[in-house]
């Protein structure tokens, strides 16, 4: 018997007539519909072309600021809204270290990524400290069935966890990443993946590094925003 990963109710479901007549690949269900409905997808309509949030402008004021600072802006795609359900999910998955919960959104990411055009899929890394204390990178956990390249690494010295800093000090921090391997990114199209888009600071650092190493185009994706 399989139970919902979030509420633990049984997932046994009756097959529909068409599933009996046309047995296709069975979609692996890991959470019940009631739980999954609490996560709200971005529709993509009226979205900021930078960060994907719903905004009346083509480019929201935050993204206009990035555009001014870098001379380019990321084209970011968030999948779900960072609402109460997502906050609770992140709390359990990331901060309480319930690694088995990575399965909840693997399929959602897989579907979105399969529609994107890129050469390398690059997850945002966690710091060595987080790796030691949490024991896993919550981003690569979400990408389990997808090919990705761990290309960038955290510079050491970062003492305060991103989530503990306020918005202003997060925006000001210096480049936090370096390229993990000596490879040329000349002409490549990269998609960066993170779990949550907050201010964009982390993804802009990673994107800047990619562009400095010759990337042709950098886009990004996050589970939530």
Binding site for Zn ion (CB under 5 A): 4, 6-7, 32, 35, 48, 50-51, 60, 63
Q: Residues for the chain: how many in total? A: 225
Closest approach of Zn ion to the CB of residue 3, in Å: 8
CA-CA distance, 185 to 214, in Å (whole number)? 5
Taking the complex as a whole, the smallest distance from the CB of residue 31 to Zn ion amounts, in Å, to 5
Structure token digits, residue 51: 């960060």
Asked if residue 32 lies in contact with residue 4, where contact means CB atoms within 8 angstroms, the answer is yes
The smaller minimum CB distance to Zn ion, of residues 108 and 213, is found at 108
Name which of 48 and 143 has its Cβ closer to Zn ion: 48
Residue 89's nearest CA partner among 101, 103, 99, 74 is 101
Cβ closest to Zn ion, residue 47 vs residue 188: 47
Are the beta carbons of 177 and 194 closer than 8 angstroms?
A: no
- Shortest Å distance, C-beta 133 to Zn ion: 29
How many other CB atoms are there within 10 angstroms of residue 165's CB atom?
15
Q: Which is nearer to Zn ion, 51 or 142 (CB)?
A: 51
In DSSP terms, which residues pair with 10 in a beta bridge? 3
Instruction: Give the nearest distance from C-beta 58 to Zn ion in angstroms.
Output: 9
Name which of 133, 138, 117 is nearest 222 in CA terms: 138
Measure the CA–CA gap between 103 and 119, rounded to whole angstroms: 25
Cβ at position 159, least distance to Zn ion in Å:
29
Smallest distance from Zn ion to CB 47, Å: 8
Cα–Cα distance, 155 to 177 (Å, whole number): 5
Q: Which of residues 64 and 140 has its CB atom nearest to Zn ion in the complex?
A: 64
Q: Which is nearer to Zn ion, 32 or 203 (CB)?
A: 32
């Amino acid at each position: 018997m399989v139970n919902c990963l979030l509420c633990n109710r049984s997932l046994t479901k009756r097959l529909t007539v068409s599933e009996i007549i046309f047995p296709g690949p069975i979609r692996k269900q890991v959470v019940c519909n009631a739980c999954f409905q609490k996560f709200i997808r971005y529709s993509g309509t009226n979205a900021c072309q930078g960060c994907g949030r719903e905004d009346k402008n083509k480019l929201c004021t935050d993204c206009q600021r990035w555009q001014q600072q870098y001379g380019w802006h990321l084209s970011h795609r968030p999948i779900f809204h960072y609402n109460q359900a997502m906050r609770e999910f992140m709390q359990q998955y990331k901060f309480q270290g319930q690694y088995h919960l990575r399965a909840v959104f693997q399929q959602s990411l897989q579907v979105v990524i399969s529609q994107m055009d890129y050469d390398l899929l690059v997850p945002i890394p966690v710091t060595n400290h987080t790796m030691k204390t949490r024991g896993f990178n919550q981003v690569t956990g979400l990408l389990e069935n997808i090919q990705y390249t761990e290309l960038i690494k955290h510079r050491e010295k970062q003492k305060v966890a991103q989530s503990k800093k306020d918005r202003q000090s997060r925006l000001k921090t210096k480049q936090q990443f370096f390229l993990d391997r000596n490879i040329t990114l000349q002409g490549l199209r990269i998609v960066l993946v993170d779990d949550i888009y907050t201010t964009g600071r982390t993804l802009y650092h990673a994107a800047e590094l990619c562009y400095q190493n010759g990337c042709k185009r950098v886009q990004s994706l996050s589970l939530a925003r």
